[in-house]
Amino acid sequence: MEAENMDDDIKIEVEIFCGMTCYMLGNARILKIGEHLPEKWLPYISLMVSPCPVDCGCLDLAKAPFARINGQLIQNATLESVCEAITEIMKRQEEA
């Protein structure tokens, strides 16, 4: 199934944590994710900016920055790793 024909109910929830640590360690860059994904996918992606949730493991700064995609925590998040996770989800949906 191509992205243009995907079910309108499909949403990928991308939560970018912007507490000071995550923001300074790279999440500021992840906020520009829409510029790095195919435009046809953008209607299926919900981008949320959140303060530090504390339950992400932020006490272990070696694993920061953090992001969450569809509820799954991503440690050491980078623009590339978040784009890769979204790409995997979209490919699974296209194959369904």
- pLDDT tens string, the chain, 96 residues long: the values are 444 555 666 789 999 999 888 999 999 999 999 999 999 999 999 999 998 877 666 667 888 899 999 999 999 999 999 999 999 999 988 887
Rounded to whole angstroms, the Cα distance separating 96 from 94 reads 6
Give 29's Cβ-side CA count (13 Å radius): 12
Domain count, the chain: 1
Q: What is the dihedral of CA 44, 50, 55, 57, to 10 degrees?
A: 90
By three-state DSSP, how is residue 64 classified? coil
Domain extent at residue 83: 3-70+78-95
9 DSSP assignment: T
Instruction: Say which residues have a Cβ less than 8 Å from residue 42's Cβ, sequence separation at least 6.
Output: 34
The CATH number linked to 56 is 3.40.30
